[in-house]
Amino acid sequence: MRRNRGWGARWRGIIFGGMRNLCLVALFYGLFSLTSSSAQTSARVETSVRAETFGEWAVRLSPSRYPEPAQYPTVKFVPKLELQEMVCGGADCDIAGTYLGGDIVYVSDDPGMPEGKREAVIVHEIVHYLQKLQGQTNRCRREYEANYVEWSYRQIHGELVGDFQFDWEFYRCTPLDVLSERSFLR
């Protein structure tokens, strides 16, 4: 991935503009990416979802400006219990989606989830897919970026979501973790 001063400036602007708030979103990809990707699941393919549409938003809104991939992942909707099994070892964690590698993103089929929120979660997880393709290894940056894109998507689509929020404690990250790469040290 190409990094330059403009890229760093964008991130600094985003981080220092939004770091004071709490996060409402619980997505665990980075924290739990080491959990088994072979978890049994009865996921169903939701053919009515066009991953390309959400993927295009992920590409458009990512500050990293990832290139358009050759293809987007399949979106599979699964019960929250299965997500918890996949990501949290079956614990009752607050999770709405996950990406565990490969070409599938999993999103909760919870009927109580507002549709706008569900769409934003799909976009969030596709950002992780793009990050994987580009070899982004900084876990904190991955989550920061995905949360930022999710927030941007909801805002653009008319939701009143307030300022950007990132739960540093939840993700066990600090702003330095997000910024600490050689590209910022010049």
List interacting residues with Zn ion (CB under 5 A).
Answer: 27, 29, 143, 146
Distance between the two ends of the chain, CA-based, in angstroms? 17
Nearest to 162 by CA among 63, 10, 21: 21
Strands 104-108 and 74-78 come out as parallel
Nearer to Zn ion, 27 or 161 (CB): 27
The residue (of 30 and 69) whose beta carbon lies closer to Zn ion is 30
Q: Which residue is nearest to Zn ion (CB)?
A: 27
Please list the alpha-helical segments (H only) found in the chain: 5-18, 29-32, 51-61, 80-88, 115-133, 139-156, 168-171, 175-179, 182-185
Contact indicator for 147, 27 with CB cutoff of 8 Å: yes
Nearer to Zn ion, 29 or 66 (CB): 29
Minimum gap (Å) between residue 172 Cβ and Zn ion: 13
**What b-and-e string marks burial along 47-79, b requiring 16 or more CB atoms within 10 Å of the CB?**
eebebeebbebbbebbbbebeebeebbbbbbbe
Contact 18, 163 (CB under 8 A): yes
Nearest approach in angstroms of CB 143 to Zn ion is 5
- The nearest distance, CB 5 to Zn ion, in angstroms, is 27
Least distance in angstroms from the C-beta of 9 to Zn ion: 24
CB closer to Zn ion, 98 vs 179: 98
Q: Which residue, 29 or 72, has its beta carbon nearer to Zn ion?
A: 29
In the complex, least distance from residue 171 CB atom to Zn ion, rounded to whole angstroms: 9
Nearest distance, CB of residue 136 and Zn ion, angstroms: 12
Q: Which residues contact 141 (CB under 8 A, 6 or more apart)?
A: 11, 177, 178, 181
Residue nearer to Zn ion on the CB measure, 91 or 185: 91
